[in-house]
A and B are shown apart, each in its own frame.
Chain A
Amino acid sequence: MAVLFLFAGCGVLLLRVFDPATSGLFPPCPLHYFTGLYCPGCGSLRAMHQLLHGNLREAWALNPMAVLLLPFVVYGLTSEALLQLRGRGLPHLFLPAIWIRALGVAIVLFGIARNLPVDPFDLLAPGILLPL
């Protein structure tokens, strides 16, 4: 687990330094590479890069879903790290099952919607809302 966190730390550092939009260092989404379709995660790496530079608007334009879910993921990972370090995590959050199901459905619908070439769904595709 400690190794995983080390990897994650290195990943964050690399993301801060290199922009996935212009650098070939990061692998592209395989789905988009082969089919041209966007998955729910497309743009999330670029979004994280923008967030690491404090650009919330750019990050939101690249992947709003990732931006919304990031606090939750950071909380969970912090809790996990603390659990490893001092044997006690952050207060346990219990999400009702229906919320998790709704989240799953939302992620899938988001993945479908951002591929529709119809206004306003096409606004969800990575980068469309990028400020010029």
Chain B
Amino acid sequence: MFCPQCGASNADTAAICTQCGRQLQAAIPPVGAPTPLPVQGVVLPPGTTVPNFLVFAILATVFCCLPAGIPAIVFAAQVNSKLQVGDVAGAQAASNNAKMWCWISFGVGLAAIGVWVLLVMIGVVSGIHNN
């Protein structure tokens, strides 16, 4: 890395600059540290990321024909609207609901696939009998 003060090249792991002695590591946020969400004027405390599971809700609704994805989308919207006003606890509650509906969708989807497989197997078996 390059020292932000004097521009000297240093090892990536160097704690201080070999040229000018400036502290280097503190200037870099640790990898994986959640950055605060800048949300329309409301700056949430660092580490606050409330997942809204929107991707999974869309997967369920548009890619798997599952109506249970609709409440998941509604709750996903609620997560972000609560975050926008800084209500982290409310967002967390909505997030839990969104997650629950995603799992319901997943369960219903699995059940539907199971029933389909069963029907196909019965169909195949009865087909063999008829022949």
Q: Are B70 and A88 in contact (CB under 8 A)?
A: no
Give chain B's interface residues, CB within 8 Å of chain A: 31-32, 37, 39-40, 49, 52, 54-55, 58-59, 61-67, 70, 73-74, 76-81, 83-84, 112-113, 116-117, 120
Query: Which residues of the other chain, B, contact A41 by a CB distance below 8 angstroms?
Result: 61-66
Q: Are A69 and B116 in contact (CB under 8 A)?
A: no
Task: Report the minimum CB–CB distance from B70 to chain A (whole Å).
Answer: 7
Give chain A's interface residues, CB within 8 Å of chain B: 24, 27-32, 39-42, 44-45, 48, 63, 65-66, 69, 72-73, 76-77, 80, 87-88, 92, 94-98, 100-101, 103-104, 107-108
Interface of B is mostly: helix
Across the A-B interface, the 7 shortest Cβ-Cβ residue pairs? A76-B55, A97-B81, A27-B116, A100-B77, A41-B65, A29-B65, A104-B73
Query: Which residues of the other chain, B, contact A96 by a CB distance below 8 angstroms?
Result: 40, 80, 84
Query: Which residues of the other chain, B, contact A42 by a CB distance below 8 angstroms?
Result: 65
Interface of A is mostly: helix
Give CA–CA (A39, B117) in the complex, Å. Answer: 21
Give CA–CA (A58, B74) in the complex, Å. Answer: 30
Q: Find the residue from A44, A48, A63 having the highest chain B CB count within 10 A.
A: A44
Q: Find the residue from B31, B66, B78 having the highest chain A CB count within 10 A.
A: B66
Give CA–CA (A82, B5) in the complex, Å. Answer: 33
Given the known interface contacts A27-B113, A87-B32, A97-B77, the answer about A104 and B70 at a Cβ–Cβ threshold of 8 Å is: yes
Give CA–CA (A22, B38) in the complex, Å. Answer: 49
Of A24, A31, A69, the contact of B62 (CB 8 Å cutoff):
A69
Of A31, A80, A95, the contact of B65 (CB 8 Å cutoff):
A31
Q: Find the residue from A30, A42, A87 having the highest chain B CB count within 10 A.
A: A30
Q: Are B80 and A92 in contact (CB under 8 A)?
A: no
Task: Report the minimum CB–CB distance from B54 to chain A (whole Å).
Answer: 6
Task: Report the minimum CB–CB distance from A95 to chain B (whole Å).
Answer: 6
Closest B residue to A92 by CB, please name it: B49
Other than the given A39-B67, A92-B37, 20 more pairs (CB < 8 A) read: A24-B120, A27-B112, A30-B112, A32-B65, A40-B65, A44-B62, A44-B63, A72-B58, A73-B59, A76-B55, A77-B55, A88-B32, A94-B37, A94-B83, A96-B84, A98-B77, A100-B76, A103-B58, A103-B73, A104-B74
